[in-house]
Structure formats: C-alpha cells, structure tokens
Amino acid sequence: MKKSRFTEDQIVRVLQEAERGEKTQAQICKDHGISPNTFYLWKRKYAGMATDDVRRLRELERENHELKILLAERDLEISAVKKVFRKNAWTLPSELRERN
C-alpha cells in the first residue's frame, strides 16, 4: 500500500477546515494539493475523528493485517499436516478431521 504524504494530523486539519465552511471544497483541495477524490475518501474514512482516533484506527488496521497473515500461515500448516497424514495412511486426530 502506498504511503500517504500527509500525516494523520494534516488529514484531520484539512477535514476540520472543510467543516468550518470558510472555504469551498474545491479551494481547500487546491490549497493543499489534493484531488477532490482524495478529499472525499478522507472524508468518508476520517470524518468526525480526532487525531488520536485516526492513529488508533491505523494501529488496528495494521494489527488486523498481521493477524490475517498469522491465520493464513496456520491454515497452510494444517493443510500440510493433513496431506502428510493422508499420504502415510494414518488416521487424523479428531480435532483435525473435516466436519461436514
């Protein structure tokens, strides 16, 4: 995933500036050098959040990604063990048997 050139603080400040209504959305985008699409993506994802909330969201997303990787690795290991048991014609332990 591409690293944003804006920090969480900057994103929150841009959105707060838009909420104040002093400038139009087009002017805010032009001033900060972002596209309207980026602005709406930020608004959809971060609207109403404080800087701490955005940091916590990023931490949770990173943790979720790591957990998904661990789960995939575990599933691969279980699959490999099942193949070895089948190849050697051993019976699988009850917790590894597929449930129908």
Local confidence band at 97 (pLDDT 50, 70, 90 cut-offs): low
Considering the domain boundaries, does residue 1 fall inside one? no
| pLDDT attached to residue 2 | 67
pLDDT digits 0-9 by tens, 49-92: 888 888 898 899 999 999 999 999 999 999 998 888 777 766 66
Considering the domain boundaries, does residue 3 fall inside one? no
Which segments of the chain does DSSP mark as H helices, in order? 8-20, 25-32, 36-46, 51-87
Considering the domain boundaries, does residue 96 fall inside one? no
Considering the domain boundaries, does residue 95 fall inside one? no
Considering the domain boundaries, does residue 61 fall inside one? yes
pLDDT digits 0-9 by tens, 11-40: 999 999 998 888 999 999 999 999 999 999
| pLDDT attached to residue 98 | 64
Considering the domain boundaries, does residue 54 fall inside one? yes
Provide the whole-model pTM. Answer: 0.59
Does the pLDDT value for residue 1 go beyond 60? Answer: no
Short-list 50, 42, 60, CA closest to 4? 42
The total number of structural domains that make up the chain: 1
| pLDDT attached to residue 31 | 93
Q: How far apart are CA 77 and CA 6, in angstroms?
A: 39
Considering the domain boundaries, does residue 97 fall inside one? no
Considering the domain boundaries, does residue 57 fall inside one? yes
| pLDDT attached to residue 96 | 65
Expressed as residue numbers, the domain containing 34 is 8-90
Residue pair 92/74 in contact (Cβ under 8 Å)? The answer is: no
Residue pair 86/98 in contact (Cβ under 8 Å)? The answer is: no
Residue pair 92/50 in contact (Cβ under 8 Å)? The answer is: no
